[in-house]
Structure 1
Amino acid sequence: MIERLSHASWQALAAVVYMAATATALGFIWYYEAVQKIGATKAAVVGNLTPVFAAIIAVTLLGEQLKQLTFTTILGGSLVLAGVVLTTQK
């Protein structure tokens, strides 16, 4: 492991630091702020949207091929969205 890190480019190391500082740290900070504001139950329900948005971002921003979004992936994302809508309605 250490040997691999010594051969990593500065761009790769910067990407790791960026992921740790932004995606991980900020994500947890914002999640716990959401828990304080809307409660743990609603925050957990909204947390189910993470894989849905990951797939959308992968296709739109990262250039993943649209054909990798299979019918079951789209169906699963739709069910998650429907579940979030149903559980957050009053």
Structure 2
Amino acid sequence: MVARLGKASWFESFDVDAEVEELIAHIERCTGFALPERQRDVIMTHARAKLDRTRQAYLEAKAAGKPVSTASSTYRNLLKRSHTALVKRPSTHM
């Protein structure tokens, strides 16, 4: 989907903290394992950095007149994959 004039991008109102907390809660329910606070902080930092890079790429593409996506599904799927990987390999990310 291409952004339309006047339509705000999805990340302008995206609550990364709430999304990541929901994802972590889901992982903890499914695994029966409570993540240590340090690992939760690593995951949150990672998600915020990804959102910042996504926002920057969007703004650069928009400024260059390129078509830009307004869908958040790609970012959410990327978060799920990368955070699942962080949980599976905690020793490599601590």
> TM-score range, shorter-chain basis?
0.3 to 0.5
Query: Structure 1 length as normaliser, TM-score?
Result: 0.34
- If asked which structure has higher relative contact order (CA below 8 Å, sep 6+), I would say 2
More helix, by proportion = 1
Query: Structure 2 length as normaliser, TM-score?
Result: 0.34
Name which one, 1 or 2, has greater alpha-carbon Rg.
Answer: 1
